[in-house]
Structure 1
Amino acid sequence: MTANLPSPVVLENDVVRLEPLTMAHIPDLFLAGGGDEEIWRWMPAKPPQAESELAELAQGLISDDKHIPFAVVLRSSGLAVGWTTYGDVPGFAESIEIGWTWYGRTVWRTAVNTSCKVLLIDHAFDKLGYNRVMLKTDVLNLRSQNAIKRIGGVHEGTLRRQRRRPDGTWRDTVYFGILEEEWPDHRARLIR
């Protein structure tokens, strides 16, 4: 099966609704995480100190043909509490990346991250025909690495000095992958 390019869709379960990111989400998103140093610590951008700065970052993702960004909306409240993206992975056949993900602190250590990943990974394999889902993070971001491992990500390597962080220091990037045939067992474990 050949993978299809992702397009903006709505994906939902009983915890979250992932909907195409728009400027209408910015007020909620800024309340959820604008200016929070810890949330933005490992992101490839400085913490936005104003809604306009967050809007600029969002617009960059929306207009970038290498990302499909989603607002993460809580089903219980209807509020956007973060965002996540599908990303292009040049040089890897039938692969897609899940990344540029952040959530407001109020949903840390809740079902939100797992719910988002199940939706995105299911869609990537079952609807889009991808063979591999890739995730990556800063080598220093242990919280994210542990979350990726919990959903079934297998460490595939570390690229040293892969890019600069917003503060100018070099970032080593840890890569993880989940293959299509590995996902059913991980999915069943996560759903349990």
Structure 2
Amino acid sequence: MTYLENQRVKLITLNLSNYLQVSKIAMQKDLVQFSPSKIDSPEDFKSYVEQAIADGSNNTAIPFLIYDKQANAYAGSTRFGNMHWKNKVLHIGWTWIGKQFQGTGLNIHVKFLMLEHAFETLNFDKVEFRVDERNSRSRKAVEKLGATLEGILRKDTLMPDSFRRNTCCYGILKEEWLVAKTHILKHLHSK
């Protein structure tokens, strides 16, 4: 797979030959303030990309660049990760988009495309999202997708500033996907 695409967004497999397309966006201040990842220096960003690619080589991740077709510009990055092929469970996350693309509806198009691919092509039984408890914007976005809050892992992730965050665990089951899909499509068509 080299890309996923719908009318609004194209997700292109991230690699060392294309990651610089989003390097300026990665350097935006506070872009990943709720993430344990550091991407705000060229060295940190390259290490982040190399780890994503290594996880892809191990068949536990599929990292993407996000291309906004409406703006005709690269907008950020996202990933399928923690892919457990035997259990048919994966995470969608590691998502960051440039501030100029936030609030434009791009993210819901990205997530819809990924959810559709996870359930209908990869045939996974569950998609999970992990969100910093303090990140109310991301929590609302995940809830808007139809994900259910399954619990909160207390102080489970060490952040770059040495803060231990609480992580909200959300999930969508395959048997919930049709209802979630219908809901998301109504939202996309109402805009």
TM-score by length of 2: 0.88
2:16 is the counterpart of 1:23: yes
**Structure 1 Cα separation of the partners of residues 85 and 120 of structure 2:** 22
- Give the C-alpha shift of residue 122 in structure 1: 0.6
- Give the C-alpha shift of residue 91 in structure 1: 10
**Structure 1 Cα separation of the partners of residues 41 and 126 of structure 2:** 36
Secondary structure of 1:14 counterpart: coil
Total equivalences in the alignment: 183
Please list, as runs of the form range in 1=range in 2, the aligned pairs for 1:84-163 lying within 5 A after superposition. Answer: 84-88=78-82, 93-163=87-157
Secondary structure of 1:181 counterpart: helix
**Structure 1 Cα separation of the partners of residues 32 and 156 of structure 2:** 18
Amino acid at match of 1:136: R
* Structure 2 unpaired stretches of 5+: 187-191
TM-score by length of 1: 0.87
The residue number in structure 2 matching 1:34 is 27
2:47 is the counterpart of 1:49: no
Higher relative contact order (CA 8 A, sep 6+): 1
Is the alpha carbon distance of 1:91 and 1:171 closer, same or farther for their aligned partners in structure 2, counting shifts above 3 Å? Answer: farther
**Structure 2 Cα separation of the partners of residues 27 and 127 of structure 1:** 29
**Structure 1 Cα separation of the partners of residues 162 and 104 of structure 2:** 32
- Give the C-alpha shift of residue 89 in structure 1: 5.1
Amino acid at match of 1:36: K
**Structure 2 Cα separation of the partners of residues 153 and 61 of structure 1:** 25
> Is the 1:130–1:180 Cα contact (8 Å) retained in structure 2?
yes
Deviations 1:152-185 (A, max 9, x none): 1100001111120111111111000001121112
**Structure 2 Cα separation of the partners of residues 190 and 90 of structure 1:** 25
Is the alpha carbon distance of 1:17 and 1:76 closer, same or farther for their aligned partners in structure 2, counting shifts above 3 Å? Answer: same
Secondary structure of 1:162 counterpart: strand
- Give the C-alpha shift of residue 55 in structure 1: 2.1
Identity %: 28
* Structure 1 unpaired stretches of 5+: 1-7
> Is the 2:26–2:45 Cα contact (8 Å) retained in structure 1?
no
- Structural RMSD (CA): 1.9
Is the alpha carbon distance of 1:143 and 1:77 closer, same or farther for their aligned partners in structure 2, counting shifts above 3 Å? Answer: closer
> Is the 2:4–2:113 Cα contact (8 Å) retained in structure 1?
yes
Please list, as runs of the form range in 1=range in 2, the aligned pairs for 1:6-17 lying within 5 A after superposition. Answer: 8-17=1-10
**Structure 1 Cα separation of the partners of residues 71 and 16 of structure 2:** 19
2:54 is the counterpart of 1:63: yes
